[in-house]
Copies of this chain bind each other. A is one copy, B any other.
């Protein structure tokens, strides 16, 4: 079998933690690890698109996933190269034949916030109407507990320095990818980018995030075609509404052997 097409990629990750001194309540001066945070400006065919503030663990996948989740690029085959240069804090994406109507899309772009990114929010909300997630997949409670435990054991930067969110892609209890970043949206995007590169389909997967289940998080998961979404945190009303609309299976407050199952009960099996 031929290997699937891959754009040319740098592999330019940054040191993920730094040590600084802090004084605690007992007056002790302690070396304290803190998470890296770097501006990374994304250019597509020489046009500046966005500056992402990132931990810098997987900048190439992050750039790809950003373009994918923002619907600025339709397929990985359109991309020739992704080149990160930390000397100038830039990631340069070169496309095969330019992005169709990039000016129009950038102009229409509404910046959304609330710990959110700049997304074409209205368009994404339209898009979710057409999303159909597979109903013939499920996860057992035992596998789910296994997944929560795997995530707990993988959270390296969080345990060391805090101040990051983690996202994982799993099949049953098996972690396939785990990405941490200073923003929860960057961590999701990096996973979306890596899924593109490795031609991984979301249909039989579970997506886990340490962050809250806001509308944008649920929309992104549905966009990636992943039918089961779990978080250790809580959710918002719009996150709940989007989960209902897309029929996604959504679990919150998942830690240890506790969880709250909010939507899509049919994909979660007690035994």
Using a CB–CB cutoff of 8 Å, the interface residues on chain A facing chain B are: 18, 20, 22-25, 27, 30, 32, 34-39, 41, 48, 50-54, 110-118, 121, 141, 161-163, 165, 181-186, 212-216, 233-240, 252-253, 257-262, 265, 270
Residue from the list B110, B257, B259 in contact with A50, Cβ < 8 A? B110
Inter-subunit contact B51/A163 (CB<8 Å): no
Apart from A25-B257, A163-B233, what are 11 other A-B pairs with CB-CB below 8 Å? Answer: A27-B270, A34-B234, A34-B240, A37-B237, A51-B110, A53-B216, A111-B117, A115-B165, A115-B182, A163-B235, A182-B212
Contacts known (A52-B114, A163-B214, A182-B214); A36 close to B121, Cβ less than 8 A: no
Inter-subunit contact B118/A113 (CB<8 Å): yes
Can you name 16 A-B pairs with beta carbons within 8 Å?
Answer: A18-B240, A22-B252, A23-B261, A30-B260, A36-B237, A39-B238, A48-B110, A50-B111, A50-B112, A53-B116, A54-B114, A111-B117, A114-B182, A114-B185, A162-B212, A163-B235
Chain B residues lying within 8 Å of A54, measured Cβ to Cβ, are 114
The CA of A163 and the CA of B216, in the complex, are separated in Å by: 13
The CA of A184 and the CA of B184, in the complex, are separated in Å by: 13
The CA of A182 and the CA of B212, in the complex, are separated in Å by: 9
Copies, count = 2
Residue from the list B24, B110, B115, B258 in contact with A184, Cβ < 8 A? B115
Chain B residues lying within 8 Å of A214, measured Cβ to Cβ, are 37, 53, 163, 182
Closest to A144 in B: B25
The CA of A48 and the CA of B107, in the complex, are separated in Å by: 11
Which 9 residue pairs are nearest across A and B when measured between Cβ atoms?
A53-B114, A162-B234, A37-B236, A114-B183, A163-B234, A22-B260, A115-B183, A111-B118, A37-B238
